[in-house]
Each structure stands twice: as C-alpha cells, then as structure tokens.
Structure 1
Amino acid sequence: MTRLSRTLAAIDDANAADPDREGGVPAAELYGQRMSAELDRLFPDASEELRIAARGQHIERWTSPRSAWPEGREGYLAWRRDLGAYHARRVGEIMAAEGYTAEAVERVGRMIRKEGIKRDPEVQALEDVICFTFLRWYFRLFAEGRDAGGLERIVAKTARKMSAEARARALAEFALPEPFAAAFRG
C-alpha cells in the first residue's frame, strides 16, 4: 500500500463515522469517493496533493452542522471559513502521520481553504471538481423545494466559481435548462 493510498484510506476511515447514510454508506465517505472519481475523470494527471485535497475536502463535516451557526449570509460564511480551516487541519494531521512534508501539508491546506481560487491552477481544479460533484450528485436534491429565483442565484454563483473550461464542459455534460445554462455560458 502506498503512502497516498494509506492517506486516502485514513480519510475514508474518518468519514466512515458519519451518522448520515446514503444508500447505506456513510454520506461523508461517499462524498469523498465521488470527489476522487470526478477528479480522476476531469484531471487524470492530478498531483498527489490535489488527490488528497479532493478526498478530504469535507472530512468529518457532520461534526459542525450548519444549524449550529447563525442564520444569514454572515453566519454561512463564518461556518464555511471555519469548516475549511478544520478540514485542512484534519487532513494535515493524517498527512503528517503518513510522513508528508510540512510543505505538502500546507499546500493541501491552501487548496482545501480555497486560497488562490482563480489564480492557482490546482485550487481552481479542486473548485471545478467540487462543482461537478455537486451538479452530478447533489443538485437535484438540493433544488427540491427551493424557489426559482434563489436557485438561479445559487447556480450563477456556482458557475462563477468554475473555470471557463469547466463551465464549457458542464454545458456539454449536463442537460441544464434555461436560465441555468445561461449562467454557464456567461
């Protein structure tokens, strides 16, 4: 077993404690595996650090539920910022235990915290993978019960986070109805 495979397995082990299940599988573990599959499909030559960041991007997310934070945009942004720091720290602990350098741990942490989005190709690649995973596996359920205007704003924000190449690929791969498709063309 390689250091990378041990690291990914340790992330899966941590996520196996998720009490939420999807098809009988811990939801966080399944999410990490879906992220890895999407990364392999979109970026088959991804670095080891990017592979670790993709798998661990939501490590133990259930331990900090959104409901524990204040309502509204400020509460949401604080929750996301604190989660990013927590995820980076937890993945860093696993990496350090497997002998990765401090530089590699910090690199993965920057990716998970999304530092350098739109400037750092690997941070952007991770964001593109996150968006594809959302669109492929979670969008339909997320959209249920939401008002059309709010959903349009969320889709537009998702599209803005993606690279131009990823937006074009999303248009080709997903049957996005208007006005959602327009957000990916813009």
Structure 2
Amino acid sequence: MIEKILAKIDAINAEDPNAVLYHGEECPKELVYGQRMTDMLHEYDSAPSIAMQIAARGQHIQRWAIPRSDYPMDRKGYLKWRTELKLMHGEILSDILEEEGADHSLIAKVADLVTKKRLKTDAETQQLEDVVCLVFLKHYFEEFAAEHEEEKVVSIVQKTWGKMTEKGHEMALKLDYNKKELALIQKALQ
C-alpha cells in the first residue's frame, strides 16, 4: 500500500510547472522536494512509521496550486498562505489515503502531521518538523542566503533552530556548508 500511495503523491507532484535542476536535469520542483524529504526522513530515522513516510513525501503536495503571490507580502499574509497550504496538503493526502482504503486512524495521523497539529506535544510531528528544517538547511539555505540580507538570514536560522529538537540540531551541525553559510549559522547561534 505505501508504495502505491507514494507513487500517487509523486504523480501529482510531477505536474508541478516549476522546475529545478536536480542531478543535472530539470525536474518538477515539488517532486524533487518530496524525494529530498523522504531521503532526509530515512537519514533521521532508519524505521519511520508509514504515517511519517507519507507525510514527509506529501509535505508540499501540489503546493504550486496556492501561489504566495495571492496573499499580502507581509507576515500576516505569509502565515495565512502557509495555513491554507497545510490544510490543502492534509485534504489531498486524506483523499489519496481514502482511495487506497487506508485505516481512518492513519488518515487522521497523516493529516495531523502535515497540518502540524500538536507540534510541541506529538513526537512524530516534531520529528517531521526536524526533517523539514534539515531539508531546508541542506538543500535550500544557500540559495535563500544569497537572495536575502544577512539580518533576515540570521533571523530565519534562529527561527529554524528554535523549531528543532536536539537531535535535529546535531544533524544540522553535521551538514556540509560552504564558508559563508557556516558563518551565517554560527552568527545566528551566538
């Protein structure tokens, strides 16, 4: 069942009109993100639950359907956009799981994970947040840092760090950063 569910998530994310370079080829952005989430999840936990595997792969399912540009370019607009995305991701994943005859408890757990319900009280939700942060730091931080002022980058690193567990911190410090990235992270953690 899990392979079929992941394949359905990948099929939807393969429709992303936004492309990124991945191993020298242009690939749909969210398809790549889902694979990176799965890879990081397995680095984080050698035996993740089925719910975690689905939530990690579907974390950004069909994300392009709700563009950031549809919301005001301030913090309030950003938070509203993120909330709408999380709810959409939960609904799409729930529909896929229902189609596959998944147990209602699995459907509810996956929806809770991607909508970040019980973030500070549920261990798996916190683990998923660690994986999200680690994927950002490993794959997207360099580009983010190049596009923003140092003060904003430092602030984002501090916020990212604050969302992570001690295990997430340990893994983040072992990632391969260039000198500039490492300096920004060190400055944020001072």
TM-score interval, normalised by the smaller of the two chains: over 0.9
Match of 1:152 among 140, 154, 157: 154
1:25 to partner: Cα distance: 1.1
1:177 to partner: Cα distance: 2.3
Counterpart residue number, 2:69:
67
Which consecutive residues of structure 2, in runs of 5 or more, have no partner in the other structure?
none
Match of 2:103 among 101, 104, 117: 101
Which consecutive residues of structure 1, in runs of 5 or more, have no partner in the other structure?
none
**CA distance in structure 2 between the partners assigned to 1:183 and 1:103 by the alignment:** 40
Contact 2:154 2:187 in 1 (8 A): no
Letter in 2 for 1:15: N
**CA distance in structure 2 between the partners assigned to 1:132 and 1:95 by the alignment:** 26
**CA distance in structure 2 between the partners assigned to 1:85 and 1:145 by the alignment:** 28
Check if 1:168 corresponds to 2:166: no
Match of 1:49 among 44, 48, 51: 51
1:172 to partner: Cα distance: 2.5
**CA distance in structure 2 between the partners assigned to 1:181 and 1:113 by the alignment:** 31
Of all paired residues, the percent bearing the same amino acid is: 37
Contact 1:171 1:181 in 2 (8 A): no
- CA-to-partner distance for each residue in 1:47-69, whole Å, 9 max, x for gaps? 00000000001000001110111
Counterpart residue number, 1:131:
133
Superposition RMSD in Å: 1.4
Q: SS in structure 2 opposite 1:115?
A: coil
**CA distance in structure 1 between the partners assigned to 2:166 and 2:187 by the alignment:** 13
The two structures have a TM-score, normalised by structure 2, of 0.92
Greater shift, 52-61 or 128-137, is seen at 128-137
Counterpart residue number, 1:15:
13
**CA distance in structure 2 between the partners assigned to 1:83 and 1:70 by the alignment:** 15
Greater shift, 36-45 or 175-184, is seen at 175-184
Letter in 1 for 2:61: I
1:118 to partner: Cα distance: 2.6
**CA distance in structure 2 between the partners assigned to 1:179 and 1:21 by the alignment:** 28
Match of 1:180 among 148, 161, 185: 185
Aligned positions, number: 183
Check if 1:4 corresponds to 2:9: no
